Amino acid sequence: MMSRRRDPESDLKNKLASLPAAPGVYLHKNRDGKVIYVGKASRLNQRVRSYFGGESEDKDPKTRRLVSRIHDFDFIATDNEAQALVLENQLIKEYRPYYNIRLKDDKQYPYLRISVQEAFPRVTVVRGIQDDGARYFGPFTDVGAMRETLAFAAGAFQIRTCHLDLPEQTVRRPCLDWQIGRCSAPCVDYEDATAYGKRVAAMIGFLEGRTEDLLTELQERMQTAARVRRYEEAARLRDLRAKLKKTAGQRPMVEGVRGNADLCGVAREGTEASGIVLRVRGGHILTSHHFPFTVRLDAEPAELMAQLLREYYDRAGEIPREILLGGPLDGPASWQDWLGDKRGGPVHLLRPQRGDKLAAVEMARSNAQYHLRETLVRAKGRSAGRNNPTEIQLQEALDLHTPPHTIECFDISNFQGKETVASLVFFSAGKPLKSRYRRFRIKTVQGVDDFASMAEVLGRYYGRLVEREQPPADLVMVDGGAGQLSVAREVLGRYGFHRVQLIGLAKKEEIVHREGGTVRLPRHGEALRLLQRVRDEAHRFAITYHRSLRDKLTTASELDLIPGIGEVKKLSLLHHFGSVTAVRAASPEALAEVRGLNRHDVVSVLAYYANRGDSA
């Protein structure tokens, strides 16, 4: 008996006829049974049949290409659209279909976890959220920004980061964190649960962006402590309040957003796209989260926004009541339901059309555009094959996320505190690019303060880059150690350059300082030699500029002070002898030969240096 051959076209028609008029998810498959597209629908029968019905010319190019590759499909019906959205998110992550937009860097981003369910909560860095009663903040797509936040919070609030099970586990003496002021040592009963709990509550308020409320509370607690003569506690609260006030002042303010909201923006060029979420709390930008995507050429703007919401809010530790969108989004009602379920309360999605809120989402879109431009510039460099072995060595040794094809280095130079200057040198492919060199005279710092001078220079330079919409180098380097590195990271973060790779290389010790520790490169390796070359060039350029200013300063301070020597005679002396040093060492006979000087002038010059003890 002959078996009947299976008719794929007939099978497909039967499947289409059996589709329910219910919400759900559908999965299109190619000839090999591979899932090539996952979508959701409010009515499965209408949505899926629309791919196969009508004339081919009536469909957009993207749909025509997709349909030409569909040989089968599956579907899963759900109770409502919100469930369909959740399921769609899960299936896209599982199958990573070609025709869906894909996240380029599909990794587990870190979170800050505060174990509020414990008697003495601790703060730790984790990958992923668990339903364990703890508070989670994140995800942080910028690990450098997360480390910066954790370092500030540890020093300001002194919350423990250890793994002791308190109060069950005890120790005899506090650890190093207590000695350096990063923990209040509840492990040895230096602080009870009530006082420690106030620290935890303050840290949570800081991470939530409730800075104004927190400042008011700290002011009241400080005054109360002072009234009852707990002066050490009052001083600690005063210092903490000052730190928080300074940090709050550095956060950009967003007009039109007075409370809490997220700003979502997307940008694309060709097959590259970028999405960003700016978390606004109390009217100030608290953090930013950037997601790079790979997209099809025919991907719609609404798909980009959907993918951004999917990637960020599927794993967000906190969702605000209001989310402002800088682009279109299909099916906003189902997205609001999904977000509301995750938040445990209503969420409003708004796409502003005018006013301050429109300006706010335009800022998010501009930030997405900046990150996209940065990605494209780096991709262009990589595609041209310009990364040499030394750059690869540096990337691996310093754990950089891209090879440092371009390097910027800053150096500070001063002379007895009178004239502090700074230099910037720029290297590309291991060679100096002198058209990108810059030099600076320090304007706002009195005396010798290398940290403040570095902060001024970095602020001026990166402020200009922001104005001109130019990206920084692949690697930013400062001449110095951990202190200069900390200053540089703070300034770069202030201008939105959170992902910039940053190192320090101090003179003599030749140890590379980076966020998270130090690295000692092989002394005779090419990687260290490149960094030394860049650092030494920055130092040379600063010294050269400094000497020219010092000569002018010396000229003004010495020759101008000699009685009877005016501008014309001063220039005659310099022209004849070539420098102030030579004038200082000149004999009476040599001075007498200078055109324009009479006998009284020669005596005046000799007397001036004789009184100073500088005569030859």
Question: Residue 156 CB: number of other CB atoms within 10 A?
Answer: 20
Q: Which residues pair with 440 in a beta bridge?
A: 422
CA dihedral of 60, 62, 64, 68, whole degrees rounded to 10: -170
User: DSSP letter at 253?
Assistant: B
Q: Which long-range contacts (CB under 8 A, 24 or more apart) does 189-193 make?
A: 193/119, 193/120
DSSP one-letter string for 144-175:
HHHHHHHHHHHHHH----S---TTTS--SS--
Specify whether the CB–CB gap between 606 and 588 falls below 8 A: yes
Q: Which of 114, 226, 215 is nearest to 160 (CA)?
A: 114
Domain positions in the chain: 8-100, 110-249, 261-382, 398-550, 562-612
Q: What is the pLDDT of residue 247?
A: 66
Counting as low any pLDDT under 70, the low residues of the chain are: 1-10, 54-63, 102-108, 155, 247-252, 297-298, 377-387, 415-418, 466-469, 508-509, 550-557, 613-616
The dihedrals phi and psi of 114, each to the nearest 5 degrees, come to -115, 115
Architecture in CATH of 8-100: 3-Layer(aba) Sandwich (3.40)
The Cα–Cα gap between 478 and 465 comes to 18
Q: Which residue has the tokens 């005679």?
A: 569
Q: What is the 3-state secondary structure (H, E, C) of 492-518?
A: HHHCCCCCCEEEEECCCCCCEEECCEE
Q: Which of 368, 457, 374, 363 is nearest to 410 (CA)?
A: 457
Superfamily of segment(s) 562-612: 5' to 3' exonuclease, C-terminal subdomain (1.10.150.20)
CATH of the structural domain 398-550, one choice from 3.90.1010.10, 3.30.420.340, 3.60.15.10, 3.90.550.10: 3.30.420.340
The pair of three-digit structure tokens given for residue 490, joined into one six-digit string = 């703070």
Specify whether the CB–CB gap between 209 and 279 falls below 8 A: yes
Domains 261-382 and 398-550 share a fold: yes
The pair of three-digit structure tokens given for residue 403, joined into one six-digit string = 């090879």
Q: What is the pLDDT of residue 3?
A: 45
Buried b (16+ CB within 10 A) or exposed e, 333-363: ebbbbbbbebeeeebebebbeeeebeebbeb
Cα→Cα distances 312→286, 347, 405, Å: 16, 15, 31
Q: What is the pLDDT of residue 378?
A: 64
The Cα–Cα gap between 13 and 18 comes to 9
Q: Which of 339, 327, 342, 347 is nearest to 260 (CA)?
A: 347
Describe the strand order of the beta sheet including 284-294 as a list of residue ranges: 102-103, 284-294, 272-281, 261-269, 322-325, 348-350
Describe the strand order of the beta sheet including 135-137 as a list of residue ranges: 123-127, 110-114, 135-137
Q: What is the pLDDT of residue 2?
A: 45
**Roughly how many angstroms between the first and final C-alpha of the chain, as a whole number?**
124
The pair of three-digit structure tokens given for residue 333, joined into one six-digit string = 């009602």
- E runs forming strands in 186-301: 261-269, 272-281, 284-294
The Cα–Cα gap between 526 and 404 comes to 14
Q: Please count the CA atoms within 13 angstroms of the CA of 584 that sit on its side-chain side.
A: 13
Give the list of residues 6+ apart from residue 67 with CB closer than 8 angstroms, or none. 51, 52, 56, 59
In the chain, the amino acid numbered 563 is: P
Q: What is the pLDDT of residue 534?
A: 94
CA dihedral of 199, 201, 207, 208, whole degrees rounded to 10: -160
Specify whether the CB–CB gap between 497 and 462 falls below 8 A: yes
In the chain, the amino acid numbered 362 is: E
Q: Which residues pair with 587 in a beta bridge?
A: none
Compute CA 337 distance to the chain's CA centroid, rounded to the nearest angstrom: 32
429-477 residue pLDDT tens: 889 999 899 999 888 887 788 899 999 999 999 888 866 657 789 899 9
The Cα–Cα gap between 587 and 576 comes to 13
Specify whether the CB–CB gap between 261 and 278 falls below 8 A: no
Q: Which residue has the tokens 């402020």?
A: 463
The dihedrals phi and psi of 27, each to the nearest 5 degrees, come to -125, 115
Indicate left, alpha or beta for 608 from its phi (over 0: left) and psi (-120 to 50: alpha): alpha
Cα→Cα distances 599→475, 497, 604, 612, Å: 61, 64, 9, 20
Class of the domain covering 261-382: alpha beta
Give the list of residues 6+ apart from residue 485 with CB closer than 8 angstroms, or none. 478, 502, 503, 504, 513, 514, 515
